[in-house]
Amino acid sequence: MIRIGLVIGFVCACMSIQISAQTTHLIRGVDFAYLPDTAYLTAGDSIHFDPTGGLHNMTQTELPAWLINQAISNGGFDTAIGVDTTFVIDTAGTYYFVCLPHGYVGMKGVLIVAPLSTSIEEARINELRSYPDPTTGLLNIGPQYVRLKVFDLMGNPHGVFTGRQIDISGLKDGFYLLRIKTGERTFVERIQKISN
């Protein structure tokens, strides 16, 4: 009788365990750029940083320092220069990072981490991706109606847009940040505007 109780208790305990698959995302430091420079993760996913033989690292920083290409650590992740490193991001949010030796030439990136969830709304939010990137002007945002602001990398505003598609053909060629707002959530994404 005791064995049956133990078996039932063990089975019940196992049934309450939730299993979630984590993914490891590769970010490489190549020349003076991160490939990719923007990564979309779910809380609990890992980042594997491969400096590809270069003297690169990933120093987490705040947005103001990131905008001016400064690798001023905010106390978050800070990989050793030139060393393969794997680390886990457990908390949802936007994480900015800059290469300590090469930030001054614009070597920086963003990790956009969604919460671990199985809700349909969370899945829809994760579908928000602007494309094509780079773009000559017309930019598709995703299946949802959004409100977004466009900034250059110095933080200067270049317009407010609403909808599923925006036209930035009037902007000069270069990199821009999109601050995308849908419902109560805000995301930041980097895009490149090029000439035809």
For 103, the domain range is 24-114
Q: How many domains does the chain have?
A: 2
pTM passes above 0.85: no
105 and 160, same domain (yes or no)? no
Residues 6+ apart with CB under 8 A from 109: 27, 34, 36, 37, 38, 39, 58, 96, 97
Q: Give the model's pLDDT for residue 8.
A: 42
Q: Give the model's pLDDT for residue 144.
A: 67
Among the candidates 114, 149, 164, a domain finishes at 114
Q: Give the model's pLDDT for residue 49.
A: 94
Among the candidates 65, 82, 114, a domain finishes at 114
Query: Cβ distance 49 to 86 under 8 Å?
Result: yes
Cα–Cα dist 98/82, whole Å: 14
Note whether residue 145 is domain-resident: yes
144 and 79, same domain (yes or no)? no
94 and 40, same domain (yes or no)? yes
Which CATH number characterizes residue 168's domain? 2.60.40.10
* Paired strand residues for 147: 162, 181
Query: Cβ distance 81 to 88 under 8 Å?
Result: no
Among the candidates 48, 81, 114, a domain finishes at 114
Note whether residue 124 is domain-resident: no
Q: Which residues of the chain have pLDDT under 70?
A: 1-21, 116-129, 142-145, 183-184
Q: Give the model's pLDDT for residue 4.
A: 46
